[in-house]
Structure 1
Amino acid sequence: MSKTFSNKSNLQVLFEDNHIIVVNKRAGDIVQGDKTGDKPLSDVVKSYLKDKYKKPGNVYLGVVHRLDRPTTGIVLFSKTSKALPRLNKLFAEKKAQKTYWALVKNTPPKPQDTLVHWLRKNPKNNKSTAFIKETNNSKKAILHYKILKKLDNYFLLEIELETGRHHQIRCQLASIGCPIKGDLKYGFNRSNPDASISLHARQLEFTHPVKKEPVQIIAPLPNDALWQACNN
């Protein structure tokens, strides 16, 4: 297994072996193609693999999970058709541990807590609404957060997901009065200069789909002053 950092096409590769490749997504990148027609991260990774290994023809790449466009951090892809169904099963059975970091301005109600809501997605505005009780077309959402650090004007939160719902972290944190920095859709008062939101997929732990060894990936934080203050 190799741990590599590549800046080709501004692609930061965090981990790569014969079966998987993990990259640190930038804000604004889409993981898979959508109606915008913008080049997705999956195509960038395919181009990287084609060039690196001088592959003729099409390059196989399986998308295992996604991140919202304005977020940053870890995205895992499968390089083989053998690994993809195993990774899909691992994620479906919640055997991959995903840890996120978020910056919020308002003080959370508790230093750490478990949030349980029922989320309902509205496809028309691509937004979810949180309810405290089950309602029509809602899905149960559970996350755990804790305050890692108090910055001058913000709090750094660490979040672990039990479920993977549409905009779950964004919606649930907003529901307790702590919208994520830059997230206009969920109630923050101004956007970030690069149109990102301050939500970062920080760590991913899972069992390798083929080698059955534990894998732990940590994604470096975005290169701006506020995020970098979280490293100190």
Structure 2
Amino acid sequence: MEISVLYEDNHLLLVEKPVNIPVQADRTGDNDFLSMLKQDLKVRYQKPGNVFLGLVHRLDRPVGGAMVFAKTSKAASRMSDLVRRQAIERKYLAVVRGMPTQTEAKLEHYLLKNNRENKVYTVAANHKQAKKAVLDYKVIANTEGLSLLSVQLHTGRPHQIRVQLSSNRTPIYGDQKYGQKVNRPGQQIALWAHTLRFEHPIKKEIIEVTSSPPEEKHPWGIWGNL
């Protein structure tokens, strides 16, 4: 598989994750993105032995777009600190069913993950295991009963964007887990990791990369090149 590199130096590797590939090995046993990247680095740089590549954050298996990995343990530690301090700006594009009641808003929910079901639920704020989830969204355009949203994450909870938008009565197009009442089996989820922006953990310069969803795929093609 050809890997699209968005930025690379001795410390970091920013790449475009393809859809429907798990970020790391899971119980399915399918090829995972982290292993593919390690193998690619091993071949490209003719490295003997194991290749280090630190996982900084995750994307759900059906979601594609920009991801950052750390090529050294020092970079991995510092990137993890950026994640903890919410100092990595992460923006997504999402196509949702319907039109949000507000064209621009902040959503705050408390989420609880059921590991057995691999599904996340909204719960009361006083639930002892609940984790706060916050995002901002802005409607870019809408047509044919669909709306194109720009979403900025402020926390990185599992399935966060999918759960929060569904709870806002605008489930993501193609989401089989949180929009099964309005989406058909086989439809590809229209959620894409569009932009990553942060201060380089070693060089201290601002790194920003953008990844665009495939415009030839429905429903992205409704709005052309994003």
TM exceeding 0.5: yes
- Distance between the aligned counterparts of 2:99 and 2:15, measured in 1? 32
Identify which range, 216-225 or 90-99, moves more after superposition: 216-225
Q: Is the 8 A contact 1:64 1:84 kept in 2?
A: yes
Q: Which position in structure 2 is the counterpart of 1:75?
A: 67
The change in CA–CA distance for 1:167 and 1:91 in structure 2 (over 3 A counts) is same
- The CA deviation at 1:192 is 6.3
Q: Is the 8 A contact 1:99 1:202 kept in 2?
A: yes
The one-letter code sitting in structure 2 at the alignment partner of 1:138 is A
The change in CA–CA distance for 1:191 and 1:54 in structure 2 (over 3 A counts) is farther
SS of aligned partner of 1:42: helix
Q: Which position in structure 2 is the counterpart of 1:108?
A: 100
The one-letter code sitting in structure 2 at the alignment partner of 1:230 is W
Query: Is 1:23–2:15 an aligned residue pair?
Result: yes
Q: Is the 8 A contact 1:181 1:192 kept in 2?
A: no
Q: Is the 8 A contact 2:174 2:184 kept in 1?
A: yes
| TM-score of the pair, normalised by structure 1 | 0.91
Q: Which position in structure 2 is the counterpart of 1:59?
A: 51
Please give the residue correspondences for 1:94-173 in structure 2 after superposition, counting only pairs within 5 Å: 94-131=86-123, 133-173=125-165
Q: Is the 8 A contact 2:99 2:142 kept in 1?
A: no
Q: Is the 8 A contact 1:221 1:228 kept in 2?
A: no
- The CA deviation at 1:136 is 3.6
Q: Is the 8 A contact 1:101 1:201 kept in 2?
A: yes
SS of aligned partner of 1:82: helix
Identify which range, 151-160 or 86-95, moves more after superposition: 151-160
- The CA deviation at 1:182 is 0.8
What's the RMSD between the two structures over aligned residues?
A: 1.6
- The CA deviation at 1:59 is 1.2
Counting aligned pairs with the same residue, the percent is: 41
The one-letter code sitting in structure 2 at the alignment partner of 1:227 is W
- Distance between the aligned counterparts of 2:134 and 2:217, measured in 1? 30
SS of aligned partner of 1:95: coil
2:217 is matched with which residue: 199, 224, 228? 224
Q: Is the 8 A contact 2:99 2:145 kept in 1?
A: no
Query: Is 1:184–2:172 an aligned residue pair?
Result: no
| TM-score of the pair, normalised by structure 2 | 0.93
Counting matched residue pairs gives: 223
- Distance between the aligned counterparts of 1:112 and 1:51, measured in 2? 46
Q: Is the 8 A contact 1:181 1:191 kept in 2?
A: no
- Distance between the aligned counterparts of 2:99 and 2:70, measured in 1? 39
Unmatched tracts of structure 2, length 5 or more: none
The change in CA–CA distance for 1:133 and 1:83 in structure 2 (over 3 A counts) is closer
The one-letter code sitting in structure 2 at the alignment partner of 1:10 is E
Q: Which position in structure 1 is the counterpart of 2:201?
A: 209
- The CA deviation at 1:224 is 1.1
SS of aligned partner of 2:177: helix
Q: Is the 8 A contact 2:124 2:130 kept in 1?
A: no
